[in-house]
Each structure stands twice: as structure tokens, then as C-alpha cells.
Amino acid sequence: MEEKIKELNLLLMFLTGWEEDSHKNPGERIFRAWKGYLFETLNKLADDKLIIQSANTKSVMLTAAGRERALQLKKQYLNA
């Protein structure tokens, strides 16, 4: 069940997230989502290198691997 929770949280972050310009690397686009999830789950997603979180922000950044996994989950759960 724990794995499903991680998967569904990642999928929800992807579905409700947004793309924006990177402040650190001009010209680079990053994908962000709000931190409105259990910190335990966010920490596990960060440990799996699917998101990057900072203590001083209210959002997380999905990594390339996180975006790829979210797209797979979208197909798996939503047939889309």
C-alpha cells in the first residue's frame, strides 16, 4: 500500500504541477508542484530521486526521472 501512496502522490503532483523558468539556470524549464502532501511521502519520493525539495520553499521540483515515472503512472491509472 505504501508504494501505491507514493505513486498516487507523484501522479497528483504531476497533474497539478506547472512548468516554469529556472531561476538558477536561465533558459532551462523546470516542473514544480506544491508540497501539499505528507512529508513522509515527500521524503520517500526525494530518496527515490523523483523530486527535489528545499526547506525554504512551498513547492518541490520533479526530476526528469520523476516526470517520466509520472507519465507512466498516468497511462497506468488513467489510460491517458
Tell me the pLDDT tens digit for each residue of 51-62: 999 888 999 999
How many domains does the chain divide into?
1
- What per-residue confidence (pLDDT) applies to 72? 97
- What per-residue confidence (pLDDT) applies to 12? 97
CATH number of the domain bearing residue 18:
1.10.10
Q: Which of 28, 26, 46 is nearest to 37 (CA)?
A: 46
Alpha helices (H) along 1-80 = 2-16, 39-47, 64-78
The chain-wide mean pLDDT, for the chain, equals 95
Those residues of the chain that have pLDDT short of 70 are: none
Domain that holds residue 48: 2-78
